Amino acid sequence: MIRVCVVGAAGKMGREIVRTLAREKDFVLVGACDVQEVGQDAGVLSGVGPLGVLIQDDLERVLGGSAPQVVCDFTHAEALRKNFPVFVKHRVAMVIGTTGLTQDEIQSMRQVVESERLGCVIAPNFAIGAVLMMYFARIAAPFFQAAEIIEYHHPQKKDAPSGTALKTIEGMDSGHFLTPEGQELVAGARGGMYRGVRVHSIRLPGFVAHQEVIFGGEGQILTLRHDSLSRSSFMPGVLLALRKVCEAPQFYYGLESILGLG
């Protein structure tokens, strides 16, 4: 069985991961770390009943005492910057769903992972449908004159634009896109610009994670949309990443590299 430690275990994603692991026959939860709900049984907190794994706030102690094969980190960028060196020190494989990292930080992490011969998956989105949306956007981009992205998330999301929006654009050939200039009567009304693509970030109660990629061409519009209606949509991708990073330890950026879409 694959021994897993969940970092950020008291958060909404962390609880969903704990629930999911409890149903899988090839995984066992051996550690849970968070600064919230310290001392609580991770299984009880997640609604699956006692698992005998208490949430602790000392990552060094958790990793040293539980000896996981892989850690699953869904915290936030500031926490991950502190956690990553600890993961490397304990030589555990990593599945990271934390967003808000810069490209320079991701490349630096890649260099460390490769030099230490560890396994690591960093993905802005673990929903397989969202990964396919990004793949389809990459295919469509050369055939259209312009594109804009609208992404919708819950108001607790720290970063904007989302990591999914940025990675979608990074995968698109956008050098030929038209970028019409116009006067903004309200500052920011046209959204932010990244690599020739306008991005609009919506943060409202009721949303989980949603994105539209809208392509414009002569007399036509193509819209690609993905909706994560609950956090359970991310779990098949998380399980896939956990298995892959243990079977074939290397650095993976984006779930598409595991799905063979890279």
Cβ neighbour number for residue 107 with a 10 Å cutoff: 12
For tokens 């769903």, name the residue.
97
167 is catalytic: no
Residue 47 marked in a binding site: no
The answer on whether 126 is annotated among ligand-binding residues is yes
Q: What is the CA radius of gyration of the chain?
A: 19
Residue 141 in marked binding region = no
Q: Tell whether residue 9 is among the known ligand binding residues.
A: yes
Residue 27 marked in a binding site: no
Q: Is 163 annotated as ligand-binding?
A: yes
What residues contact 126, with CB distance under 8 A and at least 6 apart? 97, 234, 235, 236, 237, 238, 241, 255
Within 15-106, strands assigned E span 27-33, 55-56, 70-73, 93-96
Does residue 82 have a known ligand-binding role?
no
φ/ψ of 234, rounded to 5, equals -85, -15
98 is in an annotated binding site: yes
Question: Which residue in the list 25, 82, 90, 157 is annotated as catalytic?
Answer: 157
108 touches 84 (CB < 8 A): no
- Is 84 annotated as ligand-binding? no
158 is in an annotated binding site: no
Active-site residue, from 25, 153, 200, 244: 153
Catalytic residue flag (residue 176):
no
* Structure token digits, residue 147: 């594109």
Phi, psi of 229 (to 5 degrees): -85, -20
Q: Which residues pair with 122 in a beta bridge?
A: 96, 253
Q: Which residues are the active-site residues?
A: 153, 157
Q: Which residues are annotated as a binding site?
A: 8-13, 97-99, 123-126, 154, 163-164
Q: Which residues are annotated as a binding site for NAD(+)?
A: 8-13, 97-99, 123-126
Q: Which residues are annotated as a binding site for (S)-2,3,4,5-tetrahydrodipicolinate?
A: 154, 163-164
